[in-house]
Amino acid sequence: MIINHVELWGECLEIIKRSINQQSYKTWFEPVNPIKFQNQILTIQVPNKFFYEWLEEHYVNILKTAIKKVIGEEGRLEYQILIENHRQIGKNEAVIKEQHKAAEIKNPFVIPGIKKSKVESHLNPNYTFDNFIEGDCNRLARSAGKAIASRPGKTAFNPLMVYGDVGLGKTHLAHAIGNEIKKNFAKTQVLYVTTEKFTTHVIDSIKSNSLSDFMIFYQMIDVLIIDDIQFLANKAKTQEIFFNIFNELHQSGKQIILTSDRPPKDLQDVENRLISRFKWGLSADLSAPDFETRMAIFDKKVEHEGINVNDEVAEFICYNIQNNIRELEGALISLIAQSTLNRKHIDVNLAKDVIKQFVSQSNKEISIENIKKLVADHFSLPVEKLQGKTRKRDVVIARQLSMYLAKNYTTSSLKNIGQKFGNRDHSTVIYSLQAVRDMMDTDLIFKDTVQELEKKVQMKLYD
């Protein structure tokens, strides 16, 4: 009988993992830690209140099922919300702004000789929540951003650290939060600045002996958005100044939003005291969007451009550009340019020409392994099942269909195809091909399935 809290939670996770998709599991359950098991109560630790509320709202039934199966009908789940001990800033460390109200503070963004009474936000008005498509890949970060926009500085997400690879929408989301705050709270001082620009301002203020004004200017901001915080690496003086600004803003209940290409724990050559502060709020990752999300993003951008792109072209592009939203945008722009300048109709052939600029491996032949994965994913089966000996009907149909596609879309011989599916002989492959053809003639739903998979295979083949 399992009594260890770690093992108990591990058993629960195995049940949960089978009930939700991989991205949701990674986002909402991997960060959870089991704390103790006592009196039939399993206590788990979650990063913050938002995390707890999200689990209770979206996954309470799954959690109840898992707890009952593992612990029993009397089993209960309790949460412990992680609250780090923030270092309190003493009075001697705080900047007393009232002393500086009468003084004219130098704005590092203003060109000498040009007076501006109001701080410019430097936000891009085109980046909003309306055109930031939600998917499993970004739901946590987007939800936290929306919460911040309605109550800046008053949620558990302070700071909010959004991290992920290039081209996944970190900057877009940061601007969207800022723009939403400006819409909801017109008098709120919002400032977006890149780490590179911030560093330049630090250097300029040191050269001009205006570091005090620089510090006070930033401490007057209500919502500070810093992009690409990883570029603080190896900049000791800039890190020290940002540390003091961060402390003052956080102590004053001001909102801080950061973006990075990696999570706080992986930041290199950044002081530990800064990294610990980056962990105070919420760190939310943006991962590569799935096919459905890419299609939604592509459709939104097509609508914005006011052009017509048929589903076949859209699917082709979204199948072949998988990891980078920026490349998806670039492909659409190139498609429009090629069509306009060369007076060509937008079709799959034109899309194939455009894709060559964005995908390095052209003229590729789809492999049997590619086909097996496509079919296995469609039928929600492990790939290994297709080459095993099981005679379950759903597995047999998936295996036969994989052989059919392998024969039609690869140059492999019948013998080679058979070997790829558990060392079956060529006569088994011939039987499978005929079985698929017969089912297509008599079962329209199965025929639709075959055609859908054929389209997916074709999307992987481009000139």
pLDDT (tens digit, 0 to 9) for every residue of the chain, 463 residues total?
556 889 999 999 999 998 888 877 887 888 899 999 988 899 998 877 777 877 887 888 899 999 999 998 888 999 887 654 443 333 333 333 333 343 455 666 654 543 444 578 899 998 999 989 888 889 999 999 999 999 999 998 999 999 998 889 999 999 999 999 999 999 899 999 999 999 999 998 888 888 888 888 888 899 999 999 999 999 999 999 999 899 989 988 999 999 999 999 999 999 999 999 999 889 999 988 888 888 888 888 888 877 888 888 888 888 777 777 888 888 888 888 888 877 778 887 788 777 776 665 444 567 888 898 889 888 888 888 888 888 888 899 999 999 999 888 787 888 889 888 888 888 888 999 999 999 988 888 888 888 888 877 766 654 4
Query: Residue with structure tokens 């000139």?
Result: 463
pLDDT at residue 89, as a whole number: 35
pLDDT at residue 96, as a whole number: 31
pLDDT at residue 147, as a whole number: 94
Identity at 252, one-letter amino acid code: S
359-366: Cβ within 8 A, 24+ apart: 359/320, 359/321, 359/462, 362/462, 362/463, 363/463, 364/460, 364/461, 364/462, 365/410, 365/411, 365/461, 366/409, 366/410, 366/457, 366/460, 366/461
Q: Which residues pair with 259 in a beta bridge?
A: 162
pLDDT at residue 176, as a whole number: 96
pLDDT at residue 459, as a whole number: 66
pLDDT at residue 349, as a whole number: 78
Q: 286 φ, ψ to 5°?
A: -110, 120
The answer to whether 155 and 257 have CB atoms below 8 angstroms apart is no
Nearest Cα to 371, choosing from 420, 435, 314? 420
Within the chain, what is the greatest distance between any pair of CA atoms?
A: 91
Cα of 114 vs its chain's centroid, Å: 41
pLDDT at residue 108, as a whole number: 66
87-91: Cβ within 8 A, 24+ apart: 89/247, 89/248, 89/251
Q: 357 φ, ψ to 5°?
A: -75, -20
Q: Which two tokens stand for residue 269?
A: 């050559």
